Structure 1
């Protein structure tokens, strides 16, 4: 008896389009090169606390923006709920109903603009 799953029964997974990494800059040219950013701390997770009225969005000069949330941030957790593998409807419910939000986010801009073009109408 063969217990393997037939190849055709595996779920179809659509991956985002590949986005080329930034051009490589030789180490001896990086110090004064305008395209090189050595500040990797911008990619570390950080916590943002936000008190908001219902339905508030992240827009320039909004409360969320002033609290430190920015375009390209990936939400890791909200109010101690892991957001990395959560159903969209559950995430929306948490974000809409909470009056005080503690978000764990990290700046992850890769492929962000392409994803935004697909989802924002």
Structure 2
């Protein structure tokens, strides 16, 4: 068997797969089906700024202008934007408490660039 590779012995075709990579520990917010804006700096809170049609977020009833009050029992009413994003991206499951508050959402849009 000199000169033969070890795979030539198999009766079936050999397929080389790329090395396995673990999936990322986070999911981009777009994959969750919504975007957020705001945070502690604006003093108005975190708001849903976009909901992707036919996403899980859309089916759950989230809408632009919802203020995020809590996520997984973490208070989102006085949280930094970056911390809010980190919590949402790293959570395996998300339990959100929201309220529709278009007045403060409009004020939020006027104050921030997020």
Q: State the TM-score, normalized to the length of structure 1.
A: 0.49
Report whether the alignment pairs 1:54 with 2:48: no
| Bigger radius of gyration among the two | 2
RMSD: 2.0
Q: 1:37-71 CA distances to partner (integer Å, 9 max, x unpaired)?
A: xxxxxxxxxxxxxxxx8112321221111011111
Look up the match of 1:86: 79
Between the aligned partners of 1:104 and 1:74, the Cα distance in structure 2 is 9
Q: Which runs of 5+ in 1 are unaligned?
A: 1-52
**1:111/1:86 Cα in 2 relative to 1: closer, same or farther (>3 Å)?**
closer
Aligned partner of residue 87 in structure 2, secondary structure: helix
| Higher RCO structure (Cα 8 Å, ≥6 apart) | 1
Q: State the TM-score, normalized to the length of structure 2.
A: 0.52
More strand by share: 2
Cα displacement (A) at 1:113: 4.1
Q: Which runs of 5+ in 2 are unaligned?
A: 1-25, 35-51
Between the aligned partners of 1:115 and 1:70, the Cα distance in structure 2 is 15
Q: Once superposed, which parts of structure 1, at least 4 consecutive aligned residues long, lie more than 6 Å away?
A: none
Q: 1:17-49 CA distances to partner (integer Å, 9 max, x unpaired)?
A: xxxxxxxxxxxxxxxxxxxxxxxxxxxxxxxxx
Q: Would you say how many aligned residue pairs link Structure 1 and Structure 2?
A: 68
